[in-house]
Amino acid sequence: MIEGSPSVEQACVLISADEHVVEHPGVWTERMSKSRWGNRIPHTEQQSDGTEHWTVDGEILPLPGVALTGALLHDPCREPQRWVDVPKLSYVPDERLKAMDAGGVNFAVLYPTVAGLAGETFARLDDPELELACVQAYNDWLIEEWASRSQRFVPQCIVPIYPAEASVAEIKRAVKKGHKGVIYPAIPMQIRNVPHINDPQYDLIWATCQELGVPLCLHAGSSKGVQIPIHPGMSPRVAAALQAVLRPASAVFDVANILFSRILMRFPNLKVIFAESTVAWGAFLLEYADHQFQQDRCEGYELKPSEMFTRQCFLTTWYNRVRTDIGYLGADNILWATNFPLANSTWPDVRHFVERGLSGVPEDERHKILWQNAAKLYQIS
Amino acid sequence: MKIQYGLISADSHIALDRDAFTKRLSKAVWGDRIPQVVETIEKDKPVERWIVNGRIRRRAVCNCPAAMDGPMPRNKYPDRWEEVPRKAFVPQERLKALDEDRIDAEVLFPNDPGGFYDYEDPAFELACVQAYNDALSEWHDGSDRFIPLAMVPLLGDTEARVAEVKRAVSKGHRGIVMLAEPSSTVPGFKHISDPYWYPLWATCEELGVPVHIHASAGLGDKLNVPRWEGYTPRQFHSAFTVPCGAWPAQLVPNLIFSGVLGRFPRLKWVFAETGIGSINYVREACDYEWERRRLWTEGFLQRPSEIVTRQIFVNFWFERSGIQMRHAIGIDNIMWESDYPHISSTYPQSWDFVLRTVEGVPPEEQKKMLWENAARLYGVM
């Protein structure tokens, strides 16, 4: 711990704004009608070599293991290949609370794993009824097994991505059950043949989030269409590391699109969280957006891109050395997280990275980043 | 070359005379396929355009808005050759423009017409590339204030490619221009980290000339958020351009973790017109993953940020935030660019913009970024 910086110690609350639940093999099979959906239900299957993988609607999910729990493994690069090898700290809620205690984390905002780090898995299905059934099972499970167990878990729902009426119906149902955020893939038109996310057809979704006071959560990595491909010759361990660097970098595209989409203008009270973005490129992106906006003499906006961002958007930090003194990206727009239990998580060295990352940040701003901003967004008191 | 003003543009664009290709390519061999300026009709108006291999390029006859008359930001493009300012394409006039802007030297990147690999004929591509490289060599012969970068034939075999690089460098070229990720730009081209390109890297390393990746370098419309029909042309331009500024955040990590930088440790890479403010992300993110995943066990013995310091160079033009983060980026790795005669150019008020951007920076650090780093990299002193 760094000398002379006891303030974080005194901040008794840490809210991790980006963590991932690990869905156990029964999440969907226990909740979806076997007679109606049969083998299309998301489930794990054993292969001849004893390893297991997830399949949905006959397709094997492109996951490097049966769960993503790198932070809990001796070798963070080898994801568990059989369910018996998945650490209980990741998927048993009571155990998970212990992991949070070990890291000093008071509240954890939850994103999925099998359902997609950005909630994109079921968006790929071209059967809307199956998509809805899978989504609802996930949302119900998260309330029943996690949120009901402890208020320290902050549940966020996934949604059928299109049409907007279907998304809205599920958002309303989920929020009523206790969900506090809405996870949506940032570039849905690269996942399935649906309209461009900037299209007013989606306005109903943004309006609903705004009205219900739940943030819209665009987690990095929903689309490979904005990431350079990884050479197939790269070793899987190194490729996983590269992927962990490319994913937050690709969120640049998600942010830039939202800034120019005019969605923020139409819904000035909508809050948008770019989870697993890092903050390292934030100031650059916002300054560049303003610069280009002025050079192109962009018409049709009431505010500059950085001003809309300041009013409505958030980036997340976990290991970054945060700079709030250079303008464009301030403490009001940064959420701290651990990314537990992904391989790129700071867990179990949470405190070390908090101290290192925020060592140059004034105390009042640390509190905003570590918990106050998230407490406001998720109404945690 | 004598440094008189203390400013080198590490990214400007050549403008070639209309006869640059017709006077260098054999009419008997190539006939009307030779790149040349012809009259055509656009929106019921007679205009002049470049035609290459019989295909008219539907854009300004010269991309030189910064050289056109009018207040900044200038966004007028010539429709006829007679409108093209001589200070864009006549070397002696261009030197006067450099003096007017108080710039010592400029590194010359291509301008339209380029991309000769598009025509799928290796012999034709090589002929055009050689004519292009020869034209730039002549500029350099006339004044060493012009620092030319060679185009590389991409369609032909490795021997032809390497031979052309050697030929161009022997005639004054100080680097090559390359696609950011060839397999994403042209189906069938090899991935940027594929061993197929090793002889090219080895040649550049041996000759001491850097590889240049300019703007999105072929990725622009391949890996991006799909175009939204609801944008005005200006909105679209901003939305499309801004995220491309962060391509180094993906490209450099790939060069690190693919082992290309480690295999060719004396080869330098320049990322032009993408700003500098994503390199702090690269250093931080790659070091973090390297440590957390113990990638030395995969043979990566060197800390990624040290590799960046050794081999990666970037250019700034507007970024106040990037300059404030200069030590997290690398004070010896930052150069300045004017982008003349393209739309982003600060000509003829470059010093106003420069001084505003580097305000408060110690003089010796300013000197490094404004000319010393470039002079060292290109061996112009």
CB contact under 8 A, B343 and A295: yes
pLDDT digits (tens, 9 = 90+) for B191-239: 999 999 999 999 999 999 999 999 999 998 899 999 999 999 999 999 9
Give the Cα separation of A86 and A66 in Å (integer): 8
Mean local confidence (pLDDT), A352-372:
96
Taking each helix axis from N to C end, the angle separating B158-170 and B122-142, rounded to the nearest 10 degrees, works out to 10
Exposure string of B323-357, with b = 16+ CB inside 10 Å and e = fewer, is: bbbbebbbbebbbbbbbbbbbbbbbbebbebbeeb
CA dihedral B26, B30, B36, B39 (to 10 degrees): 130
Judged against a pLDDT cut of 70, whether residue A10 lies above it is answered with: no
The pLDDT score that the predictor gives to residue A12 is 64
How much of chain A exceeds pLDDT 70, in percent? 97
List CB contacts of B48: < 8 A, sequence separation 6 or more.
B37, B38, B39, B40, B61, B79, B80, B81
Question: Is residue B68 a part of any domain in this protein?
Answer: no
Our count of domains for chain B comes to: 1
Q: Identify the segments of chain B with pLDDT beneath 50.
A: none
- The answer, for A308 touching chain B at a CB cutoff of 8 Å, is no
Query: Which pLDDT score is estimated for A74?
Result: 87
Does residue B81 sit in helix, strand or coil? helix
Residue B166 lies in a domain: yes
What local confidence, expressed as pLDDT, does residue A1 receive? 34
Residue B61 within a domain: no
B302 is in which domain, residue-wise? 8-28+87-378
The one-letter amino acid code at B23 reads K
Please give the DSSP secondary-structure letter assigned to residue B150: B
| A60 pLDDT above the threshold of 70 | yes
The closest of A349, A378, A206 to A275, measured between CA atoms, is: A378
pLDDT of B302:
97
CA nearest A320 in B: which residue? B284
Contact call for A237 and B295, based on CB within 8 A: yes
CB contact under 8 A, A249 and B229: no
Predicted confidence (pLDDT) at residue A11 exceeds the cutoff of 70: no
Peptide bond into B113 cis (omega under 30): yes
List residues bridging with B246 in a β-sheet.
none
pLDDT of residue A75: 86
B236-to-A132, A191, A201, A266, A285 alpha-carbon distances in Å = 34, 21, 19, 18, 16
Does any domain span residue B82?
no
Residue of higher predicted confidence among B339 and A6: B339
Chain A residues near residue B298 by CB distance under 8 angstroms: 235, 237-238
Closest-CA residue in chain A for B223? A226
- Nearest CB to B277: which of A77, A281, A300? A281
State the burial class of residue B116 (Cβ atoms within 10 Å of its Cβ: 0-12, 13-18, 19+).
Answer: buried
CB within 8 Å: A228 and B254? yes
Q: What confidence tens digit (pLDDT) does each residue in A225-248 have?
A: 999 999 999 999 999 999 999 999
For A72, A81, A337, B271, B377, the CA distances from A87, given in Å and listed in that order, are 7, 12, 21, 43, 51
Considering chain A, what percentage of its residues have pLDDT values greater than 90? 93
pLDDT grade for A381, boundaries at 50, 70 and 90? confident
Q: Is residue B246 part of a domain?
A: yes
Tell me the CATH number at B18. Answer: 3.20.20.140
Nearest to A329 by CA among A346, A345, A344, A316: A316
User: What average pLDDT does the structure give for chain A?
Assistant: 95
Whether the pLDDT of residue A9 is over 50: the answer is no
Q: Within a domain: residue B253? A: yes
For residue A304, what pLDDT is reported?
97
pLDDT of B1 = 86
What's the confidence (pLDDT) of residue A5?
40
pLDDT at A2: 36
Residue B51 in any domain: the answer is: no
Residue B358 in any domain: the answer is: yes
List CB contacts of A182: < 8 A, sequence separation 6 or more. A156, A157, A159, A171, A174, A205, A209, A214, A215, A216, A217
Contact between A278 and B281 using a beta-carbon 8 Å cutoff: yes
- For B292, the closest chain A residue by CA position comes to A344
